[in-house]
Amino acid sequence: MTQDQLVAFEAVATLGTFSAAAKRLHKSQPAITKLVQNLEGELGLALFDRSGYRVALTDAGRAFLERAARVVADTEALEAYGRALARGGEPVVRIVLEAITPLAPVLGVLSRVRRDFPRVRFELRTERLGGAIEALVDGSADLVVSNPRGVDPRRMESAHLTHVRIVPVVHRDHPLARAGAPVPAAALREHVQVVLSDSARGEHAQQTINVLDGGTRWSVTEVGAKLQIIEAGMGWGGLPEHLVVDALRRGDLVALTIQEFETESLELLTIRRRGRAPGPVAQALWAALRSDSSAAGGREPRSASAARTGERAGAT
């Protein structure tokens, strides 16, 4: 079995005809036919049913295609990786993070990878909700960290990175800080809820989560702006625990218990496109992020105080 045989087989299976496969692969149709026939002969089974006007995959062919496509993609990725190594790595790697991503562990990974590839230039930006997936699809990102919504396993490869707990908070002097637990929905509606807007503009736009119906809301485009508005006592909203844990400990912010909210935490995945061979730097980043996640055990972080109180939290 050779790589050429697998490539020819995948092309015919995907395009539906030997002539279309020959055109894509810049080979003659007899050459493609011979490659597929030799593959079937070596395997001892028929991959295509040739009795109709167009060839069709047999049951065995459909089962074989799934594995063959992965082998072809992995081999192409390895070849591209070797070529990139010979060039010293890709010059630019573009990374997009969901806005609530804890930055410290990502920076730690970037620092380690940078030691091996000192000349690479990293472009790092944040997006909100569906914005990271949109950046991956439109080609403006090589690797993203995003929530699982919108991940297409046929087009994307993903791996668990972490969970981020979202805590609804308010300034200690805000009226809601004294509203009890759980906070009545009627009381919440009397005050401004600060929410993050989705930065995606196309099909990957997501519905904002844990927004209280019927209340007044302010939309912001940055987590930092949301935090400052809440710290100023001008509204309430959900924020990543890692951003508010110190303020909660000091008593500057107060955590709210809100029964109407459904999402207590968001899973974040490291995601890259299938069918596009990563360079050595992007591959190193991918491997390091997965390694760090595995070392952390994939557990959802919770602060000691949150674990004791068991308070119900939501994301906004």
Do 92-162+267-295 and 164-265+302-309 fold alike per CATH?
yes
Tell me what pLDDT residue 218 has.
93
Tell me what pLDDT residue 214 has.
85
Tally helices (H) and strands (E) across the chain: 11, 11
Tell me what pLDDT residue 296 has.
56
Task: Give pTM, 2 decimals.
Answer: 0.64
Tell me what pLDDT residue 200 has.
76
Tell me what pLDDT residue 52 has.
82
Low-confidence residues of the chain: pLDDT under 70: 80-89, 203, 205-207, 293-316
Tell me what pLDDT residue 115 has.
85
Tell me what pLDDT residue 309 has.
33
In the CATH hierarchy, which top-level class contains the domain 3-87? mainly alpha
Domain ranges for the chain, please list them: 3-87, 92-162+267-295, 164-265+302-309
CATH number corresponding to 164-265+302-309: 3.40.190.290
Domain spanning 92-162+267-295, CATH architecture: 3-Layer(aba) Sandwich (3.40)
What are the strands, taking DSSP E only, across the chain? 48-49, 56-57, 92-98, 121-127, 143-146, 156-171, 193-196, 217-220, 237-240, 253-255, 265-273
Tell me what pLDDT residue 274 has.
86
